[in-house]
Amino acid sequence: MSPTGDLQQHFITWALRGKAPETSPIVLGRRRVFVLPTLAGLAYSAALTLMLIGAINYNLSLGYATVFLLSGLGVIAIFHTFRNLAYLHIAPCRAPPVFAGGKAHFCLLLTNLRALPRLAIRLKLPLQAETEIDVPEDSGIEAILELPAPRRGWLILPRVKISTSYPLGLIRAWAYVAPKMRCLVYPTPAKQAPALPMGPGEDGGNSGGNAGMEDFAGLRGHQAADPLRRVAWKAAARREDAPLLSKLFAGAAAQTLWLEWDALPARLDIEARLSLLTRWVCDADRADLSWGLRLPDKTIPPARGDEHCHACLKALALYGRD
Amino acid sequence: MAGTKQPPLSARQSLWLIAAALAAFLPLAPYLPQWLGIMTALVFIWRSALLWRRSPLPPRWLLLLAVAAATLAIAIYYRTLLGRSPSIALLVLLFAMKTLETRAARDGFALVLLAYFLVMTQFLFSQSLVNAAAMLLEVTLITAALLIMNHQRQGGVRALRQAAVMLAQAAPLMLLLFVLFPRVNGPLWGLPSDAYSGLTGLSETMRPGSISQLGRSDAIAFRARFTGRPPAQRLLYWRGPVLTRFDGGSWSMDRVFPRNTLPYSAAGTAFDYTVTLEPHNKPWLFALELPGSIPPEGLLAADYQLLAKVPVRSRLRYDIRSYPGISAGLDESPAILRQALQLPPRSNPRARAMALSWRADIGIDDEALIQRMLAYYRRQLFSYTLSPPLLGEDSIDEFLFDSRRGFCEHFAASFVFMMRAAGIPARVVTGYQGGEMNPVDGSLIVRQFEAHAWGEVWQKERGWVRVDPTAAIVPSRIEANLASALPQGEPLPFLARPDFLWLHDLRYRWDALANTWNQWVLGYNPERQREFLANLGMRSPDWQKMTITMTALCGVLLAGFAIWALGSRRKIDPALAAWNRLSRKLERLGPRRVGGLGPRRVGGLGLARFPWEGPRAYAERIAEKLPMIAAEIRLIAAIYEELRYGGAASREGLKELNMRIRRL
């Protein structure tokens, strides 16, 4: 790391004073809001110095007045900028789970207890673009921070830099906060996956012409291995960009779908297995099936619905991580 | 900031920047060469049109070309690029061109800084009250543009108000700095030679027509405030340059030997007064004839002309005393008398011949000769006019025998010439005659159109005696004013006209205000500052004391602002406070009830309200977990909802809410 970067890191550690992650709500007290002039502020003071020299040289009384008024404005800007940020309340709100490779969205609740709005508040995560937001007077607003989620598991919200240079852009006030907040990152669903392991009975007994006995059970994403006659053409025709779906039929006996770790080929490594299972969970959920998940260290009994789906994906996300 | 790409300016931001640029340019426009003003206006129109049609800005090479061409034009126009006027012209040009190059926030900020700078440059030309008011408006507008640049979504009116509020907050600081910032007398270095161009006033030389030129200007030369009653109007001869040398065409000042002692003894009635002299960039002061004291800024020359130690380049105040009845020069040195008889050989033969024939007639009686000359003016029907005809080489001859129309310099010059030709030492004195009393603040205002020239002759028993030939022809010029002396139809300066009395009254008021402004704001120089601070109780103020006081007082002010910035935590809505109290109560209450054995700190039912939970959702969650208080909690939530969002917050409702939460 470069010396300046090193220094910056030290400063951030000091600025947070070892409190990370902090308990909410975080209040930006006056001791943790820092204020320094921006480049524009330095240019402004240089211009004022030049103007002052001009006023002295030409004995311009109103020149003095102008320079002093503008200097006063610069000084007042410090307080306005500081006030714009100080005593802002920050609380973690929610961070909906995402699939690895996507973007996690951390939602922070910014609360302003003052009778004046706080304008142009900028939030920034390391290496990410800034988000600018206005916090209206006497209320709160949710700021959403985007962060790439490359790996499954818990994604901890890194320290957030909250800054503002409102009103004049001459001064910047900033503070670092590290709210206790994490986002669950599911494994990436495999792009290519075999059909759902529907159980032994399904293929043998029901694949014949005994169409009348088949109960339509739902739809799922079409896969190369699905027979053509199972494509849900009607569903596909409804929207132009709709993906091809395959009809699923519940067999004669209502079968339970078990998504099993051990059933996968032995040559696959852990991440590939998780990825495949994730895909299956998603497929099964989309087809509104009832399924169970069996991992080496955990078994989730068959069920259906969002909660169940989340539980399965969470188990997959945290496999071997807890 | 470095490295990150700056966002482009929006159309709205650009519009505000153009408005700010226009505001900074307009007050300067009258002082720029016309073609540059028009060009700048065209650039602004072009920029606005581009904005209107959402067209892209012109390419950089085109701008560079335009700047180069215009710079060349400025260099040709002024014949130089150095000096004050060309620099300002160049600045305005670059400023206008910069509006065509506002792509990113950085460009916008550069434009704002330039605009602030231009606001100040207008004071090089004029520092009137109007300019000060214009400065405030411009700064407000430019600051609003800066606000909008920093916060794109902000409304225009809101930005203007915010700018005004911030400037109002900056005003106390400005006042403090203005009063206490240690002033130094400029310039810090040599000023460009044209720094004081455009100042009107008397000059070192006088030729026919030079004073009637001033008669068209109603600019103020100086103001005088008498401690007692001012002298009569006909005694108000303000002595300026004394012109002894004559080369046939023009009169000029002699080499003078300034001293700081009076060459004569004071006698007669004394008048004490304070003169506030407008800058005229010449090394002399004005005083009533004859000065009885010498101000510290000046010296007295051998010809009783009050000289300034340095050219008067900023408004100057001095206290002085005069004795109108004094007689001086009884024992004048022969060298000076010789000089006062000098005439260029062979010039104006007719006048010379007439003077010699008169001398032969009259003999040695100087007084009779003077009276004869004055009678000559009256008898020959000389006329007094602001627009005399142009005269040739022998100007005195032409005036005395042919044209017979002239302004005071013609009369003074011909009179002095005749006296010298007749062997009487004489010289031309220029200055101002008269003045106008402002009844509002009691100061006497002397304007350029009151410029005057008169004669001074030396007589053995009386010394130097003032003789004003103009008074012989038009006594009303001396007794009253210029307007009464000139025939009808002469083009008088506006302020010299006798009509529009109500306007005169208004003008007096305005002028009294302007005078106060000049004295206290524009004339706030190192001397005035020391005087003022001493009056405020600072003992022997010097720059160290001023700096310390300034720092301390600024510190106090800033501390006040700091308290404002820190201590303005809004008092929380009492209903919300009660609601938060309920949440905390439930949070504490949960584990105690459930755990049974005293307060357990860990665990709990998670009964605290989540920050994002609305009152109804919270009440339902609590009701589900603690069914025994379900009804009560729903009621409390309903009351809270009504209080916080129902519009009219009633005191009874609040009381009930607090009571119920307490009882829970």
| Alpha-carbon distance B335 to nearest alpha carbon in chain A (angstroms) | 41
- Is the CB of residue A253 less than 8 Å away from at least one CB of chain B? no
CA gap B12, B172 in Å, rounded: 32
What percentage of chain B reaches a pLDDT higher than 70?
A: 90
pLDDT tens, position by position, B620-638: 888 887 788 888 888 888 8
Strand arrangement, sheet containing A89-94: A26-27, A89-94, A102-111, A140-149
User: Which of B103-134 are b and which e, b meaning 16 or more Cβ less than 10 Å from the residue's Cβ?
Assistant: eebebbbbbbbbbbbbbbbbbbbebebebbeb
**Is B151's Cβ below 8 Å from some Cβ in A?**
yes
Higher pLDDT pick, B113 / A139: B113
Both tokens assigned to A194: 């075999």
Closest residue of B to A27, CA-based? B569
Q: Is residue B330 part of a domain?
A: yes
Which residues in chain A have Cβ-Cβ distances shorter than 8 Å to B564? Answer: 79, 83
Q: Return the residue in B116, B136, B551 with the most chain A beta carbons within 10 A, the one to mutate for interface testing.
A: B116
Torsion of CA B366, B367, B373, B377, to 10 degrees: 170
Residues 6+ apart with CB under 8 A from B492: B386, B449, B482, B483, B486
How sure is the predictor about B139, in pLDDT bands with cuts at 50, 70 and 90?
Answer: very high
**Any domain includes B356:** no
| HSE-CB of B209 using CA atoms within 13 angstroms | 8
Judgement on whether residues B40 and B87 belong to the same structural domain of the protein: yes
Mean pLDDT, residues A261-275 taken together: 86
| Nearest C-alpha neighbor of B449 from the set B415, B491, B487 | B491
Contact predicate B348/B247, CB 8 Å: no
Chain B partners within 8 Å of A64 (Cβ)? 177-178, 181, 183
Q: What is the distance in angstroms between the Cα of B556 and the nearest Cα belonging to chain A?
A: 13
CB of B223 within 8 A of CB of B273?
Answer: no
pLDDT at A121: 92
Neighbours of B637 (CB within 10 A): 22
A15-21: long-range contacts, CB 8 A cutoff, minimum separation 24 = A15/A175, A15/A176, A16/A159, A16/A176, A16/A177, A16/A178, A19/A178, A20/A159, A20/A178, A21/A156, A21/A157, A21/A178, A21/A179, A21/A180, A21/A181
Q: Are A114 and A87 in contact (CB under 8 A)?
A: yes
* Domain hosting residue B642, numbered range: 574-663
Residues 117-146 of A with CB under 8 A from B: 119-120, 134, 138, 140
Mean confidence (pLDDT) of chain B:
83
Position A193 scores a pLDDT of: 76
Whole-angstrom distance, CA of residue B408 vs CA of residue B452: 6
B579 domain residue, yes or no: yes
Q: Which residues does residue A107 pair with via DSSP β-bridges, in sequence order?
A: A94, A144
My answer on whether B208 and B170 are in the same domain is: no
Closest CA of chain A from B343, distance in Å: 43
Same domain, residue pair B175 and B212: no
Name every chain B residue with its beta carbon within 8 A of the beta carbon of A62: 120, 123, 127, 131-132, 135, 521-522
Partners of A86 on chain B (C-beta within 8 Å) are: 565-566
E strand segments, A40-130? 89-94, 98-99, 102-111, 118-124
B251 and B102 part of one domain: no
CB B35 within 8 A of CB B175: no
In whole angstroms, give the CA distance from residue B477 to residue B565.
65
Same domain, B161 and B241: no
pLDDT digits (tens, 9 = 90+) for B428-446: 999 999 888 888 788 888 9
| B617 shares a domain with B503 | no
A321 sits in which H/E element: none
Catalytic residue among B107, B303, B394, B468: B468
Find the helix or strand (DSSP H, E) in which A180 lies: none
The residue out of B180, B211, B240 marking a domain boundary is: B180
Give the chain A residue whose CA is nearest to the CA of B130.
A62
| Domain boundary residue, one of B153, B180, B207 | B180
pLDDT in the model for residue A148: 93
For residues B613 and B634, what is the distance between their CA atoms, to the nearest angstrom?
14
Alpha-carbon distance B366 to nearest alpha carbon in chain A (angstroms): 51
* In a shared domain, residues B166 and B246: no
- What do you get for the CA distance between the two ends of chain B, in Å? 55
Nearest by CB to residue B169, choosing from A38, A43, A76, is: A76
Mean pLDDT along residues B494-510: 72
Task: Identify all chain B residues contacting A44, using CB atoms and an 8 Å cutoff.
Answer: 113
Evaluate if residue B569 carries a pLDDT over 70. no
Domain end marker among B150, B180, B210:
B180
What one-letter code names the amino acid at B329? G
Q: Does residue A300 sit at the B interface (CB-CB below 8 Å)?
A: no
Question: What digits encode the pLDDT tens for the residues B232-273?
Answer: 888 899 999 999 888 888 888 887 778 878 888 878 888 999
Active-site choice (B394, B408, B410, B511): B408
3-state secondary structure of B619: helix
| Residues B67, B163 within the same domain | yes
From A182, A174, A116, select the one nearest A145 (Cα to Cα).
Answer: A182
Residues of chain B contacting A30 with CB distance shorter than 8 Å: 566
C-alpha A311/C-alpha B551 separation (Å) is 66
Give bridge partners of residue B104 from the DSSP assignment.
B8
Contact B428, B206 (CB under 8 A): yes
Catalytic residue status for B554:
no
Confidence of residue B176 (pLDDT cuts 50, 70, 90): very high
Asked if residue B584 and residue B511 are part of one domain, the reply reads no
Tell me how far apart the alpha carbons of residues B632 and B642 are, in angstroms, rounded to a whole number: 15
Residue A228 confidence (pLDDT): 65
| Active site (annotated) includes residue B394 | no
Cα distance between the two ends of chain A: 31
Query: Are B321 and B464 contained in the same domain?
Result: yes
**Chain B nearest-CA residue for A48:** B117
**Residue A38, pLDDT score:** 93
Is B452 one of the catalytic residues?
yes
Closest C-alpha among A322, A279, A287, A285 to residue A307:
A285
CB B89 within 8 Å of CB B36: yes
Which residues on B lie below 8 Å from A91 (Cβ)?
Answer: 611
Give the chain A residue whose CA is nearest to the CA of B122. A63
Chains A and B: how many Cβ contacts under 8 Å? 170
Quick check: B565 and A168 CB within 8 A?
Answer: no
Residue B5 in contact with partner chain A when CB distance is under 8 A? no
Burial of A198 (0-12, 13-18, 19+ CB in 10 A): middle
pLDDT at residue B20, rounded to an integer: 93
Is this prediction's pTM over 0.80?
Answer: no
- Asked whether the beta carbons of residue A56 and residue B113 sit closer than 8 angstroms, the reply is no
B217 burial (CB, 10 Å; 0-12 / 13-18 / 19+) is middle
Average pLDDT over residues A181-210: 68
Phi, psi of B155, deg, nearest 5 = -75, 155
Given pLDDT bands bounded at 50, 70 and 90, which one contains residue A211? very low
> Residue A322: what pLDDT?
64
Give the closest-approach CA distance of A35 to chain B in angstroms: 13
**Confidence tier at B663 by pLDDT (50, 70, 90):** confident
Q: How far is CA B629 from CA A168, B581, B618, B655, B662, in A?
A: 53, 17, 13, 20, 13
For β-strands B451-459 and B426-433, DSSP reports them as: antiparallel
Please state the domain count of chain B: 3
Q: Which residue has the higher pLDDT, A32 or B148?
A: B148
Candidates B473, B494, B355; CA nearest to B416 is B355
Q: Which of A32, A64, A124 to mutate to test the interface with B (most CBs of B within 10 A)?
A: A64
Same-domain check for residues B146 and B42: yes
In this structure, of A66-75, B125-134, B358-367, B505-514, the range with the lowest mean pLDDT score is B505-514
Interchain contact A166–B (C-beta under 8 A): yes
**CA distances, B450 to each of B218, B478, B595 (Å):** 9, 10, 103
B290 prior amide bond cis, ω within 30: yes
The DSSP string of B265-280 is ---S--EEEEEEEPP-
pLDDT of residue B489: 64
Sign of CA dihedral B254, B257, B259, B264: negative
Q: Rounded to whole angstroms, how far apart are CA atoms A68 and B181?
A: 9
Indicate the Cα dihedral angle B525, B527, B529, B531, nearest 10°.
-150
Whether B249 and B308 share a structural domain: yes
